Structure 1
Amino acid sequence: MWSLGVAAFVAFVAAIPQPLGIGAVLLEDASSAKGFLVEAVAVPTTRDITGFGGWRSFVTSETAA
């Protein structure tokens, strides 16, 4: 997790390409935080990486393959 000031957050969000966005993400401890989301229109053509336990594990598995 990272913490950004308002101006940095606005600049960061403005640079995120569609179909990605920022929204509330439910965490394992049932709290929520802002995180990356993908618009529903993109879901049918994307790969579900939930089974990897997170982005870092997915990237590691891809580089090991």
Structure 2
Amino acid sequence: MVYVKAGGAAIELEVWEMPTEKFGYFMQYIKAPLGIGTVWLDDGSWVYGFICEGFVAQSGEGVEDVTHTGGWLNYLAGKEAQ
């Protein structure tokens, strides 16, 4: 997910709960350009979630914008249907 000030769109997301003591273990499996950062929700609240480093998204190299699908799970379902 890449935050944009204008021209972006909301997508559906899943909110999961993880014990704090397991977070470090989980993080070792997240490879660049993915990271964990602040994701703002429509109601003004926020959660920590997957983000993409901005320089990668701006380069356009190897990046696919999935916003038009409405969310990651929809994107994956569309790939399976192909």
TM bin (shorter chain): 0.7 to 0.9
- When the two chains are superposed, the root-mean-square deviation of aligned CA atoms in Å is 1.1
- Structure 1 residue 17: Cα displacement: 0.5
User: Structure 2 length normalisation: TM-score?
Assistant: 0.71
List structure 1 runs of 4+ shifted beyond 6 angstroms.
none
Distance 2:71 2:80 in 1: 15
Higher relative contact order (CA 8 A, sep 6+): 2
Q: Which of the residues 6, 22, 25 maps onto 1:11?
A: 25
Deviations 1:1-55 (A, max 9, x none): 1111112112111221011100001122222111000111211220110111110
TM-score by length of 1: 0.87
Higher strand share: 1
Aligned to 2:75: 58
Determine which structure has the larger helix proportion and give its number.
1
Structure 2: gaps (5+ residues): 1-14
Q: Which runs of 5+ in 1 are unaligned?
A: none
